[in-house]
Chains A and B, each alone.
Chain A
Amino acid sequence: MAKLKLALYWAAACGGCDVAVLDINEKILDVANLADIVFWPIALDFKYHHVEAMPDKSIDVCLFNGAIRSSEQEHIAKMLRAKSKVLVSFGSCACFGGIPALANLTTRAEIMQRAYIEAPSNDNPNKTLPQTKVSVPEGELTLPELFDDVLTLAQVVPVEYFVPGCPPTVDLILKVVNALATNSLPPVGAIIASEKSLCDECDRKKEKKMISKIYRTHEIIPDAERCLLEQGLLCMGPATRGGCGALCVKVNIPCRGCFGPPPGVKDQGAKLISSIASIYETKDEKDIARMVDEVADPAGTFYRFGMSNSMLKRKRVQGK
């Protein structure tokens, strides 16, 4: 089999997914045997003009991580879609919006204001904000336009596969590499993880106990053997797809949902609210009000990684 052409790209990302690929350690040599990497900004010096020059569909597989929130990211997503036979939405940001999608609870104007003007460490007396076009003595400089909304990759271009995780685990990445090496990719549209919720993978004892108080994670040290939700911690397990090996729960912290909704669930937040409601024991209205108070940040917790993929997608702003 001729060497595959592989590309990796990052949009609104942190580099974690790219490092995760390198976390397969010596197996990266297998990848190098299997494929010629034709574009990978974190590791190789290929430029955008190299990609532009490639014929359509000449890239066999593109692993695209990061969410889409600027005109440049959208442009490169479309370019890589045209140049690639198979486009993989890699990591939680590309699949669901990820942490950058928390920006959907605010607006571009507020972000610019905070980052460039208000932040205490700034030295910007003229209150200059970045512009998409600026004239300098030598010529013109451009910057991409920032969107108000953070989008998933699939909300911008068609995608063949989804690999969730923040970052995807080494096991999952090796699954993808093996599938490529043996030409045995699943049917198009597949989410490469488990077909069950995290609770299924989690080893902890589930006693089907009801709870009457919700704790913030710093308020208690949970028992390492029992279900976290049953101990009153907000664990996204019931509303999250499995496949990660329950890594967070194994170190005694509750799941925050980075693998996205489980099969059959459209909205992680709605699912988690109904899961809590089903184990919460209340005596009266005051109890319920207290419990609601105990949930510190429902939107930011239930949609920590999945805001762009949720039903509401973003905070409503007046006049929009």
Chain B
Amino acid sequence: MPLLKKMLAQFGVEDKRVRLEWVSASEGERFASIVNDMTEEVRALGPFSRNDGGKHG
């Protein structure tokens, strides 16, 4: 993960956009809270601009 994040940073992908968590099927509440937290963090970062083979500067 840290290596992936270092590489993604070179691509301008912010650290908070990627997260790895281990959650078991019985940890429903924890899962919900992780998803909600991350949703808020990503929302605060704004849309992720995808350059799908875009051309112009």
> From A319, which residue of chain B is reached at the shortest CB distance?
B49
Q: Are A147 and B55 also in contact (CB < 8 A) when A277-B3, A292-B2 are?
A: yes
Selected A-B contacts with CB under 8 Å, 19 pairs? A74-B55, A108-B57, A148-B54, A149-B53, A149-B54, A151-B55, A276-B3, A277-B3, A288-B2, A291-B3, A298-B10, A299-B11, A312-B13, A313-B51, A315-B12, A317-B12, A317-B49, A319-B49, A320-B54
A27 interface hit (Cβ, 8 Å):
no
A269 CA to B7 CA, complexed, in Å = 9
- Expressed in whole angstroms, the minimum distance between the Cβ of A266 and any Cβ of chain B is 15
For B, the interface residue count at a CB cutoff of 8 angstroms equals 19
- Expressed in whole angstroms, the minimum distance between the Cβ of B13 and any Cβ of chain A is 6
Q: Are A316 and B49 also in contact (CB < 8 A) when A299-B10, A300-B10 are?
A: yes
Question: Which residues 261-320 of A sit at the B interface, judged by CB distance below 8 A?
Answer: 269-270, 273, 276-277, 288-289, 291-292, 295, 297-300, 302, 308, 312-320
Spell out B's residues near A (CB within 8 Å).
Answer: 2-4, 6-8, 10-13, 48-49, 51-57
- Residues A155 and B3 in contact, CB atoms below 8 Å apart: no
A178 interface hit (Cβ, 8 Å):
no
A109 interface hit (Cβ, 8 Å):
yes
Contacts of A252 in B (CB 8 A): none
Q: Which of B4, B8, B51, B52 counts the most A-chain CB atoms under 10 A from its CB? A: B51
Instruction: Give me the 3 closest cross-chain CB pairs, A-B, nearest first.
Output: A316-B12, A298-B7, A299-B10
A32 interface hit (Cβ, 8 Å):
no
A105 interface hit (Cβ, 8 Å):
yes
For A, the interface residue count at a CB cutoff of 8 angstroms equals 37
Contacts of A313 in B (CB 8 A): 51-53
- Residues A316 and B2 in contact, CB atoms below 8 Å apart: no
- Expressed in whole angstroms, the minimum distance between the Cβ of B23 and any Cβ of chain A is 20
A297 CA to B10 CA, complexed, in Å = 9
A298 CA to B11 CA, complexed, in Å = 10
Contacts of A212 in B (CB 8 A): none
Contacts of B2 in A (CB 8 A): 288-289, 292
A273 CA to B42 CA, complexed, in Å = 24
Question: Which residues 149-181 of A sit at the B interface, judged by CB distance below 8 A?
Answer: 149, 151, 155
Contacts of B11 in A (CB 8 A): 105, 299, 312, 314-316
A147 CA to B52 CA, complexed, in Å = 13
Contacts of A295 in B (CB 8 A): 3, 6
A90 CA to B52 CA, complexed, in Å = 23
A149 CA to B56 CA, complexed, in Å = 7
- Expressed in whole angstroms, the minimum distance between the Cβ of A207 and any Cβ of chain B is 23
A94 CA to B2 CA, complexed, in Å = 32
- Residues A292 and B3 in contact, CB atoms below 8 Å apart: yes
